[in-house]
Structure 1
Amino acid sequence: MSTKERKVALMGFRSVGKSSLTIQFVDNQFVDSYDPTIENTFQKAIRINGQDYNLELKDTAGQDEYSILPQSYFMNIDGYVLVYSVNSFKSFEVVKIIYEKLLDMKGSINRVPVVLVGNKSDLTLEREVQYEDGKKLASSWNVPFLETSAKENQSVAEIFSMVMMAILRAEGSEQKKGGCVLS
């Protein structure tokens, strides 16, 4: 069975930990220093349901409510990880705006595989966004949700398993509708 390619973009407000989550997943290490990302691409081979995938992760520059999202964030991207930091209510608000922009660009919600992630769950004393708030938002979008800590490597791999499952579900529903699915 040949390896299939899937592309996933990580999006969210600046310094929510998009790069830390990506590097923790790809290299099993935590990078503590904050160096604003322009845009990086990482590769990781994973296996889902017995099928090998080469996952291309696009670690995007931090967005804010006024960001014009480049076309490259929408073209040939199979799924999205929308990240906020549990110690930043602002980042939680920004992720809602990014989600709306995604829907505007990508169309129907059923075809946009998204996982909502509340990162930095280890910062319990600095928490501004409660677990229930993230869960409720994800539920309203009908997408998977989890809280993670890139620093403690808590639930990091699960993010990418969840987004892959969401991508595969979306592709399955496309095939059932008779749509064209490229792989």
Structure 2
Amino acid sequence: MSPKSRKIAILGFRAVGKSSLAIQFVEDQFVDSYDPTIENSKYPFEKVVHYRGQEFHTQLIDTAGQDEYFMIPQSYTVGVHGYILVYSVTSKKSFEVVKIIHEKLLDQIGGGNKVPLVLVGNKTDLHLQRVIPSEAGRKLAGEWSASFVESSAKQNEEVDVIFQRVLQEIEKQHGTQDDGGCVLL
């Protein structure tokens, strides 16, 4: 069976750890220095992932940080199978911006409210600086019918889970995954 190709866009406010999550997932390393991503300057991150007995060739679109005024370019929607929306558990602003990103994403894509996505609260290693409780992220993800994961790119906590979950959401959307309901043959 040949691998399925899945393109995944990672969106969120600046400095929430989008690139750190991608690099940790693909290269198993954390880059300590902060170097803001500049659009189209980085190659897409790629990794072959095994999920539920199937091989997936994942291509990650690592985007520059968005703010409340950004417009979603077509490159973030055309051919993209799933989304990872990231906020920092240490930043109220990033949590508010991720809501705006979600709204704009739905407007851009159209076709109802269901988009394969995972909401990620990153930087859980910064316990003393946390301002967004887990419950707030979980509640927001529930409102969106999305998966929710809290992670630390720095400590490589739950990073693989994020990408497994986005594949799960994509496959559910494509009707190729049993999500606990009936399967007609």
Given the alignment, which residue of 136, 152, 156 partners 1:153?
156
Is 1:98 paired with 2:101? yes
The answer for unaligned runs of 5 or more in structure 2 is 177-185
Aligned match of 1:2: 2
By how many angstroms is 1:106 displaced?
1.1
More helix per residue:
1
1:103-142 alignment runs, 5 A limit: 103-107=106-110, 108-110=112-114, 112-142=115-145
| TM-score, with structure 1 as normaliser | 0.92
Structure 2: distance between partners of 1:123 and 1:74: 32
Contact 2:72–2:108 at 8 Å: present in 1 too? no
Structure 1: distance between partners of 2:18 and 2:60: 10
Aligned match of 2:64: 61
1:17-32 alignment runs, 5 A limit: 17-32=17-32
Aligned match of 2:75: 72
Structure 1: distance between partners of 2:161 and 2:16: 18
By how many angstroms is 1:88 displaced?
0.4
The answer for unaligned runs of 5 or more in structure 1 is 174-183
By how many angstroms is 1:171 displaced?
0.3
Given the alignment, which residue of 149, 169, 173 partners 1:166?
169
Structure 1: distance between partners of 2:103 and 2:96: 11
Is 1:86 paired with 2:89? yes
Q: Deviations over 1:3-25 (max 9, x none)?
A: 11000000000000000000000
By how many angstroms is 1:48 displaced?
1.2
Q: Deviations over 1:22-52 (max 9, x none)?
A: 0000000001111010233100000111111
Aligned length: 172
Q: Deviations over 1:117-175 (max 9, x none)?
A: 000001010011111110110011111101000000000000000000000000008xx
Structure 2: distance between partners of 1:130 and 1:3: 38
| TM-score, with structure 2 as normaliser | 0.91
Contact 2:90–2:123 at 8 Å: present in 1 too? yes
Q: Cα RMSD (Å) of the superposition?
A: 0.9
Q: Deviations over 1:89-114 (max 9, x none)?
A: 0000000000001110112222x101
Say which is worse superposed, 164-173 or 89-98, in terms of deviation: 164-173
